[in-house]
Amino acid sequence: MVSVSILQTQKLHKHFNGVNAVDHLSLRIEKGKVTGIVGPNGSGKTTLVNLLTGMVPSDSGAVLVSEMKLSRIRPYDVRTYGMTRTFQQVRLFQQMSVLDNVLVVLTERGVFLSLFEYHTNFHLRQAKVVLEQVGLWDKRNENAENLSYGQRKLLEIARALAMGSDTMLLDEPFAGLFPSMKKTVAGIVQKLRSEGKTVVLIEHDMEIIKHLSDHLIVLDAGKLLAEGKSHEVLSRKEVIEAYLGE
């Protein structure tokens, strides 16, 4: 079967204060697969996701979304391109209920207009589905600020799921989660893959990466160090030296 790229970068470059966070990086993300991205701290993983989703502008290079070449991506265009993401530092409406946090993203309107929108039974059913997926339906009337750290991360994943995007970029979704919560998130990633969705997974837990990733990309100092099957890549000498510090 011929692989199809859903995302590509061509000599993508970004520097901060003279440091190359992403250094003329060219890579491919295959459609319908789980691609893991790993690397030591400061290797450019989060900066790459920020560039792919328009959170920061690139200095040069291009991003291709389904073969469409983009010299610049704006954050408000990302949903149009069928992408959504989560963040290392959870971003929620803290003083809104769990349910309302999800309902906000189920509309094409702006945030404040959506707060006053009459939510149909269709919206409520959609919200219930994603909240049940992450195990938060029983917490639907709690304000987000009252949730535990792990529950807030699960709520952010629920918001991303509610957007129904074809490509999800998950920035350390397992960090700080209890084992039962990790099992829930792993199940979500596997379900997305079974539905033909594309997942880009940044993660430090190598067991999770090996278990979930179809393809692994290793970054070091903003450059592509290695890529391929997880077990093969993680056994390479240059990866062990750069990532594991041996």
- Per-residue pLDDT tens listing for the chain (246 residues): 556 788 999 999 999 988 899 999 999 999 999 999 998 888 899 999 999 998 899 999 999 988 888 777 887 778 888 899 988 778 888 889 999 999 888 875 444 444 555 456 778 888 999 999 999 999 999 999 999 999 999 999 999 999 888 999 999 999 888 999 999 999 999 999 999 999 999 988 889 999 999 999 999 989 999 999 988 888 888 888 876 554
- AA letter at 218: V
Is 0.95 surpassed by the pTM of this model? no
72-86 burial string, b = 16+ CB within 10 Å, else e? ebeeeebeebbbbbb
Instruction: Give the count of alpha carbons within 13 A of 59, CB side only.
Output: 14
d(CA 181, CA 174) in angstroms, rounded, equals 8
Tell me the three state secondary structure of residue 10.
strand
Rounded CA Rg of the chain: 18
Q: 122: Cβ–Cβ under 8 A, 6 or more apart, which residues?
A: none
Confidence (pLDDT) at 1: 52
**E strands of 98-189, at which residues?**
167-171
